[in-house]
Structure 1
Amino acid sequence: MNKELKLLPAVLATGIMAFAGVLIETAMNVTFPTLMTEFKISTSGVQWVTTIYLLVISIIVPLSTYLLKNISLRHLFLTANLFFILGLVIDYRSPNFAFLLIGRLAQGISTGIALPLMFHIILTYSPLEKRGAMIGLGNLTTSIAPAIGPTYGGILTSTTGWKAIFLFLIPILLLALVVGLKAIPSLPVSKTSTMDWFSLLGIALMFSGFLLFLEQLTSLTGIVALLVGIGGFILFYQRSVSARNPLIHLQVMKNAAYRRFLLGFLLCQCLLLAISFVLPNFVQIVLKKDAFTAGLMMLPGAAVGAILAPLSGRLLDHIGPKKPIISGLLLAAIGWFGLLWLVGSPVLLGFVAGHVFYMIGIGLSYSNLMTTGLSALPQAAYTDGNAIFNTLQQFAGAVATALAATVINQAQRHATDFQQGTIFGSQLVLGSLLVLLLLVLLLVTIQFHKDPR
């Protein structure tokens, strides 16, 4: 066997897995009205199809530092791929909602391994002068798939049924398996670190508690969940500063530039996941369109984002991060304001135009925020910095989905008209995120003023 890793095919193979993971994450959002009817569940209940998936990823990703030091890249890749295929088969054959969630859990384990594996390969094996373009290529999986997902899910739900969403991904995962096994050799690992089980327990309690709190905001269960989440955070923080080999060294968070670009990146992730939840459901519930139309509406924005994602990395390599990031966030804010305004006076083509404009901004800024944040760290801290980016990226997506579902569900329950409740809830979600987006734009601008690049 060739003992030299082949960079581009290796990134392609791991990227296909990550892309499939994020694609299916948002492809299921467009099926929610169908699932609610088929399984007789509420808006807040059906969102667990996405939330449990993101929760598992959030718990698995912090293990990446330990896994990458103790297991070969080839074995990690093989494990992730087989877990994904297993999850797809379970969901395709699922007879009830519980089995559907079990399959989503297996897919979450796979994506939780694949995402940090892909970025580890990029950061470790790509030349410095090409790192921006390679990270842009890697972030193609997480910036474009959320927009393509509703289109993919809508087409299949309307034509062959929602279970085909899982079936059609199986040959793609098999292709990734073949490419990855040829590109990723079985390289030796040092096996120098040990597992800090208390850190893992803290992360599991923290993320699970906070997400359950968001889903049960108005109940006693929510208060208990919040306390569990706070307890998990305290345990995780204590282990990160006192354990000999913590899962993640939080010292990287002391870097102000890293923190600000991380915050911007996470807000962009919230926007991507929130809009992929709000718009398809809004179009089906309020405008009375089918899943195919709801998904197709997201396609033009997805195409724009697909073009800009890799190009934005090259732009950063040539002119630096300031202009692409600031202009991107500004354009995203303008497009997002347009979407917020249109929710009150819905026009289908207006949603398409607003989403395209917003995706232009995301395409320019999203991956460059990650590249610039990681570049602010010393090379020895890349692994921990990358783990934090990927962990919080998934948790931010879970929070955005859970919070959007909870707010809209509460608005639907307390409104005299279900459609009016959906409109009001969507306005609350989009308006709150617009305020946060403007705040992040301000913080990033301040950072570039302090450190012009």
Structure 2
Amino acid sequence: MQKEKEVKLSLAVLASGIMSFCGVLIETAMSVTFPTLMSEFNVSTASIQWITTIYLLVISITVPLSSYLIKKFPLRYLFIFANVMFFVGLLSDMLAPSFGILLLGRFFQGLATGIALPLMFHIILTYAPIHKRGTMIGLGFLITSVAPAIGPTYGGILSTNYTWHSIFLLLIPIVVLSLIVGLYAIPKIPVKTEDKLDWLGLIGITLVFSGALCFLSNLETFWSLAYLAITVIGGLIFYRASKQNTSPLIDLSLLGNRQFRLFLFAFLICQMMLLGISFIVPNYIQIVKNGSAFESGLVMIPGAIIGAILAPISGKIHDLYGAKRPILIGIIITMIGWGMLSTFLGTIGSLGIVCGHIFYMIGIGLCYSNLMTVGMNQVSKTLQNDGNAIFNTLQQFAGAVATAVVAVIINVVQKNSHLPLQASTTLGSKLAMFFILALMGVAFIGCLRIFSKPTQS
């Protein structure tokens, strides 16, 4: 009986993880097609990044809502709804005749992933024993981390030999598989709650994320100030709603926990690295090195595979020996690898990028999932859904911010440096990478201080 429960738990995680896998796969698969799509739809570098940003923005808004949805509806029903939305998104993008329809498809995919991702971690946090939590969270990250590994190559092969539309077509059988596994493994457990949806909080958080991303994407224009004002207003609305509502969208009291806050910050910087490099490398290979979409995807696959494989292994290390060693060692390796790649970008070819990417992804594999595990270990059982929502919401938002910031920095340098396109793209990429590296340095200092305390291991 116990064995059957463990098998169903793993299959439930797998089923919800497959949808997250598909979402991230398309996200990174499409990144190698950006130069092609810019030409086909006649849009700029700053505009094309909305293929990624709109997807991550919708997830960032949907994930906080998931905390309420999980209490309100059976997990099985939420899972089915997410599958249907993802299928609609795939069809919309596969048949997209315009850039607007392409973004609409990404909207539906973001909605589905925004439900599936917290659903997967909710199942782990609710049903997995505490002594296996690190391993199970690592398994969840393995499922979603494999996608960046094969996404660029998957997208490169299809867009080079066929058309970018086929990227979406071939995912339909995978979504069907997810539905079949989920219907078997995810039970129909009735739920009872008297909580009401915090509509004011939902409006506030929508304004925050939408305004912030529009602000970052339009830093060069006068409208950036208006978007900044929207962000601030949204933040005030969300904060007030969280204080006044007895059942807030997200319980912000969690952010008062210093350790939770610090591990969350370090986790988000890792996410910024993963999404930032997925934008930088394909554009660098194709614009600076005149490589193909296939080549730009191929250079990222070895490092991404290593990072994905290390996720459950590092989770097991956490369960056996604690969080200190995998997290601190992982961040150090990450900073060394990222720093070398940032420094030598422009003087190295594809092989050098592969080596640098592999090195820093070893570090990401050691620390990334463990940062979420140790962060969630700071949260009481009654606030697990809120902690899960905060991690998953800000994870996707950090990815959107990273893509937007990197795109803006590169775009600004391309327009204002008076250098040739190849040289300005390289310089912009290096500046963006050094900016993210500095943030990781701050995260490392914070983690080091916490783990230096006798009570931390």
TM-score, normalised by the number of residues in structure 2: 0.97
Identify which of 308, 332, 335 aligns with 1:333: 335
Given the superposition, is the C-alpha separation of residues 447 and 76 from structure 1 closer, same or farther in structure 2, using an over 3 Å criterion? same
Question: C-alpha separation between the residues in 2 aligned to 1:143 and 1:322?
Answer: 22
- Counterpart of 1:438 in structure 2 is 441
SS in structure 2 at match of 1:270: helix
- Counterpart of 2:286 in structure 1 is 284
- Counterpart of 1:105 in structure 2 is 107
Q: How do residues 114-263 of structure 1 correspond to structure 2 at under 5 angstroms?
A: 114-263=116-265
Question: C-alpha separation between the residues in 1 aligned to 2:153 and 2:360?
Answer: 17
SS in structure 2 at match of 1:189: coil
Question: C-alpha separation between the residues in 2 aligned to 1:5 and 1:65?
Answer: 25
Task: After superposition, give the CA deviation of every residue in 1:251-279 in whole Å (9 maximum; x if it has no partner).
Answer: 01111110110000000000000001101
Tell me if 1:344 matches 2:346.
Answer: yes
Contact 1:143 1:366 in 2 (8 A): no
Question: C-alpha separation between the residues in 2 aligned to 1:293 and 1:21?
Answer: 22
Question: C-alpha separation between the residues in 1 aligned to 2:386 and 2:320?
Answer: 27
Residue 415 of structure 1 and its aligned partner are, at CA, apart by 3.2
- Counterpart of 1:420 in structure 2 is 423
SS in structure 1 at match of 2:213: helix
Task: After superposition, give the CA deviation of every residue in 1:346-391 in whole Å (9 maximum; x if it has no partner).
Answer: 3211100000001100000000000000001111111111100000
Contact 2:318 2:326 in 1 (8 A): yes
Task: After superposition, give the CA deviation of every residue in 1:206-241 in whole Å (9 maximum; x if it has no partner).
Answer: 000000000100212111001001100111011111
SS in structure 1 at match of 2:33: helix
Identify which of 424, 449, 453 aligns with 2:452: 449
- Counterpart of 2:315 in structure 1 is 313
- Counterpart of 1:11 in structure 2 is 13
Given the superposition, is the C-alpha separation of residues 346 and 96 from structure 1 closer, same or farther in structure 2, using an over 3 Å criterion? same
Question: C-alpha separation between the residues in 2 aligned to 1:88 and 1:221?
Answer: 33
Tell me if 1:64 matches 2:66.
Answer: yes
Contact 1:29 1:280 in 2 (8 A): yes
**Equivalent position amino acid for 1:452 in 2:** Q
Task: List runs of 5+ in structure 1 lacking aligned partners.
Answer: none
Residue 325 of structure 1 and its aligned partner are, at CA, apart by 0.4
Structure 1 runs of 4+ aligned residues shifted over 3 Å read: 2-5, 141-144
Task: List runs of 5+ in structure 2 lacking aligned partners.
Answer: none
Question: C-alpha separation between the residues in 2 aligned to 1:41 and 1:71?
Answer: 41
Choose 387-396 or 16-25, whichever is displaced more: 16-25
**Equivalent position amino acid for 2:141 in 1:** N
- Counterpart of 2:78 in structure 1 is 76
Identify which of 357, 360, 366 aligns with 1:358: 360
Question: C-alpha separation between the residues in 2 aligned to 1:446 and 1:335?
Answer: 22
SS in structure 2 at match of 1:190: coil
Residue 303 of structure 1 and its aligned partner are, at CA, apart by 1.8
Question: C-alpha separation between the residues in 2 aligned to 1:435 and 1:305?
Answer: 21
Question: C-alpha separation between the residues in 2 aligned to 1:185 and 1:319?
Answer: 34
Contact 1:146 1:273 in 2 (8 A): no
Q: How do residues 333-412 of structure 1 correspond to structure 2 at under 5 angstroms?
A: 333-412=335-414
Residue 5 of structure 1 and its aligned partner are, at CA, apart by 9.3
Question: C-alpha separation between the residues in 1 aligned to 2:286 and 2:421?
Answer: 12
Contact 1:6 1:184 in 2 (8 A): yes
Residue 437 of structure 1 and its aligned partner are, at CA, apart by 1.0
- Counterpart of 1:27 in structure 2 is 29
Residue 399 of structure 1 and its aligned partner are, at CA, apart by 0.2
Residue 158 of structure 1 and its aligned partner are, at CA, apart by 1.1
Task: After superposition, give the CA deviation of every residue in 1:58-90 in whole Å (9 maximum; x if it has no partner).
Answer: 000000111001100000000001100110011
Contact 1:4 1:185 in 2 (8 A): no
SS in structure 2 at match of 1:410: helix
Question: C-alpha separation between the residues in 2 aligned to 1:222 and 1:286?
Answer: 30
Percentage identity across paired residues of the two chains? 54
Given the superposition, is the C-alpha separation of residues 177 and 269 from structure 1 closer, same or farther in structure 2, using an over 3 Å criterion? same
Question: C-alpha separation between the residues in 2 aligned to 1:132 and 1:425?
Answer: 37
Contact 2:142 2:309 in 1 (8 A): no
TM-score, normalised by the number of residues in structure 1: 0.98
Choose 32-41 or 411-420, whichever is displaced more: 411-420
**Equivalent position amino acid for 1:428 in 2:** L
Residue 424 of structure 1 and its aligned partner are, at CA, apart by 1.1
Residue 402 of structure 1 and its aligned partner are, at CA, apart by 0.6
RMSD after superposition: 1.4
Question: C-alpha separation between the residues in 1 aligned to 2:344 and 2:168?
Answer: 33
Count of residues in Structure 1 that have an aligned counterpart in Structure 2 = 452
Residue 341 of structure 1 and its aligned partner are, at CA, apart by 1.5
Question: C-alpha separation between the residues in 2 aligned to 1:148 and 1:447?
Answer: 36
Contact 1:3 1:187 in 2 (8 A): no
Given the superposition, is the C-alpha separation of residues 5 and 193 from structure 1 closer, same or farther in structure 2, using an over 3 Å criterion? farther
